[in-house]
Amino acid sequence: MTEELKKLYGDKVEVKYVDVDQVGIGNYPVMNQVLQMGYPYPVTLINGQPKFAGGIMVKEVKELIDENLKGNSN
């Protein structure tokens, strides 16, 4: 997904994979809340907000990025 998003959006988006088991979930309070609610890995956050859990939804992620970029250009 990283490669595809970078190809589509260039520097307009930042894609970051974080293994909270390695870096510590305490460093990511939003993830801690999402996991306590019972949502499974992987969790996709957009602009720091959880949007998808349990899989990588490339099409849906692109749609949300498009909406965010369009909203920022107004």
pLDDT of residue 36: 92
Domain ranges of the chain: 2-72
Task: Name the nearest CA neighbour of 42 among 34, 51, 54.
Answer: 54
Q: What is the pTM of this model?
A: 0.80
Give mean pLDDT in consecutive 10-residue pieces for the chain, a chain of 74 residues. Answer: 92 90 88 92 91 93 94 72
The residue type of 61 is V
Determine the Cα angle at 19 with ends 15 and 22, to 5°.
140
pLDDT of residue 24: 87
In angstroms, the Cα distances linking 32 to 8, 14, 26, 40, 41 are: 31, 21, 7, 11, 11
pLDDT of residue 74: 58
